[in-house]
Each structure stands twice: as C-alpha cells, then as structure tokens.
Amino acid sequence: MTDSYPAAIIPMFSLTVAISAIILSWIISSLLDHTDQLWPFVSFLQLFVPEGQVSTWQSLLCITFGTLSLWLWCSMAQHELKEKSAPQTAYLLVAIIRILVVATGYFQLLLFSVNSADNNQTHYNSTVRMFLSVKLILVTQIILSVRFLQLTRLHTAARIILLTQSSCGMMIFYYYNLVGNKSYNGEYPYRRAPGRAYYPYMYCAIGEWMMVSAFLVFTLLQALELRHFEIRLPEGALHILLNM
C-alpha cells in the first residue's frame, strides 16, 4: 500500500524557506547595520553573525528541496513523454536536465559553504556557474516544452522571460562586480558602500537580485506544473518521518 502526495508541496516548501530566509536575514542585517538597507547584496546576508547562520541553514534546506523539485519535474516530463511515445531525443533532453540539476545543486552547496568575505573569488565563481546551470535548464525546458510536452504557451513564455531576466542580471552583476572591485583597489565592500564605489555596488546588487528573483519565480513555476503530479510513498512513511 502507498500514500499519494502532490509533488507541488516540494517546490512550494523550497520557495517558502528561500523567501523567509531572505526576509529574515535582510531584517536582521539592516537592524545591525551590516549592509546597505536599500540595496543589499543577497550574498552579504550570510556574512555576519547572527543573520549568516540563519541564512546558511535555511539555504541548505532550500537547496535540498529545490534540487528535489527539479528532479521531480524531470520525472513528470518523462511520464508524459512515455504516454505520448516520444522519440529518444526527448528522453535525451530530460537526461541533460537531470545532469544540470545535479550541477546546480553542487554549485549551490559551494556557494553557501564559502563565505565571500574569506574567499570572494570562489563564492563569485560558484554564483556565476549556478545561475549559468539554471539558464541552461531553462533553455532545455523551453526546447522540450515546444517540441514534445504539452505545456501552455504561458509557461513557455514565462521561461523565456526568466531566461532573459537572469541573463541581463548576470551581465550587470559581472560588469559592476569588476568595476566595484577596481574602485576598492581589489578589496570588496562588505558593509555600506561609500563614496565613488557606491553606484557600482548598487548596480551589482540589482543584477544579483534580478538573478535571485528569476530563480524564485522559476521555483514557483515548477510548483504550478507539478500540481497534478503525485509522489507515492509507502503507507505511513510521511507520518513516521514527521515524528522522528
């Protein structure tokens, strides 16, 4: 015997944890004057105690359930492809997405396990690679949905918009990160950005927020698409897990 649960609860939980982590860390960081209240880097929210500890633990939960939700999306896509007797090309695209999902989870772990104050280059590289992996997932999903799946035009258009937004955000983040570093003679600003480096800092933060918000909406999109897909667990398994 098995129990069935809507798969959408996984991305919704991940989204809830991510948003609550950002808001809570932002409030604490602002109250303690650890970052610019109006234009904080999302990365800055895990630099200092106590908001850094809150952000890190919640981020680990978000990574776990976010990766699982993407994996479930692939399972849903594969199930639909079997019903339609799709060609092997479609299954190859699903396999590519699964590989990219694992890569995204790995880069997220690197991102949140390295403090940008201690090793900014590793943190920066992990950020770029993570969002690049997400963009490749979006591109592959767009191809898969247009050619083989029965996703609505609205969902496909949403992916195109998110891809455009995150790409623009990455370019802004990359350019003004370089400009900001030069303004500081190679030393990164971790608190309020004063003087001539404030505007590069502000634009760089905007670029990062564009990428992060696109990722959050992408998670919401997964929840909408997984609402009719079910997870099957052994009877009573969830009750046992919740009472451990």
- As given in the structure block, the two tokens for residue 79 are 């199930």
CA distance 165 to 37: 23
CA distance 29 to 193: 14
Give residue for tokens 């699982």: 68
Mean pLDDT, residues 69-86: 93
Give residue for tokens 């809507």: 6
CA distance 76 to 60: 24
CA distance 241 to 135: 34
Contacts of residues 182-191 at CB distance under 8 Å and 24 or more positions apart, as own/partner, are: 188/116, 188/117, 188/120, 190/35, 190/44, 190/47, 190/116, 190/117, 191/33, 191/34, 191/35, 191/36
Specify the pTM: 0.85
pLDDT digits (tens, 9 = 90+) for 158-217: 999 999 999 999 998 888 777 655 445 444 454 555 555 567 777 888 888 999 999 999
pLDDT digits (tens, 9 = 90+) for 105-116: 999 888 877 766
Sign of CA dihedral 44, 47, 48, 49: positive
pLDDT of res. 117? 62
